[in-house]
Homo-oligomer: A and B are copies of this chain.
């Protein structure tokens, strides 16, 4: 099950549902807050489209508003988007990507330590033979 394409505007909606679900449409709207300046109906439209895409599903609850919950796992969507991004913008090559994002990362020293550990591990697992 390839995760469906989630459009730019749809991402915040998905994030909301990944953070907490199931939620009714108005709960989603409340969670998103006024920051986006979206009319309620806009959010409902996005929810409908996400249902059609198979990204989320409806939970019918007798006598009360419908609820929505993710079907696709966030991690899968992140992976898919990341892969496509890597290919498209960095020609599929991780190193330049990592360099790019390292430059402006403004991480704390602990975060840097953690990352370096990861990098070391990625070597070890690579040159196994």
Contact = CB atoms under 8 A, between A and B. Distances in A.
Interface of A: 8, 11, 15, 78-79, 81-82, 84-86, 88-91, 94-95, 97-109, 111-112, 114-116, 118-123, 125-127
A89 B81 contact: yes
A119 B126 contact: no
11 contacts: A78-B100, A81-B88, A86-B101, A94-B101, A102-B119, A103-B122, A107-B123, A107-B126, A109-B123, A115-B119, A116-B119
B97 A115 contact: no
Contacts of A107: 94-95, 98, 119, 122-123, 126
Q: How many copies does the complex hold?
A: 2
Contact of A99 (B84, B97, B115): B115
Contacts of A79: 100
Contacts of A98: 98, 101-102, 105, 107, 115
Contact of A94 (B81, B104, B118): B104
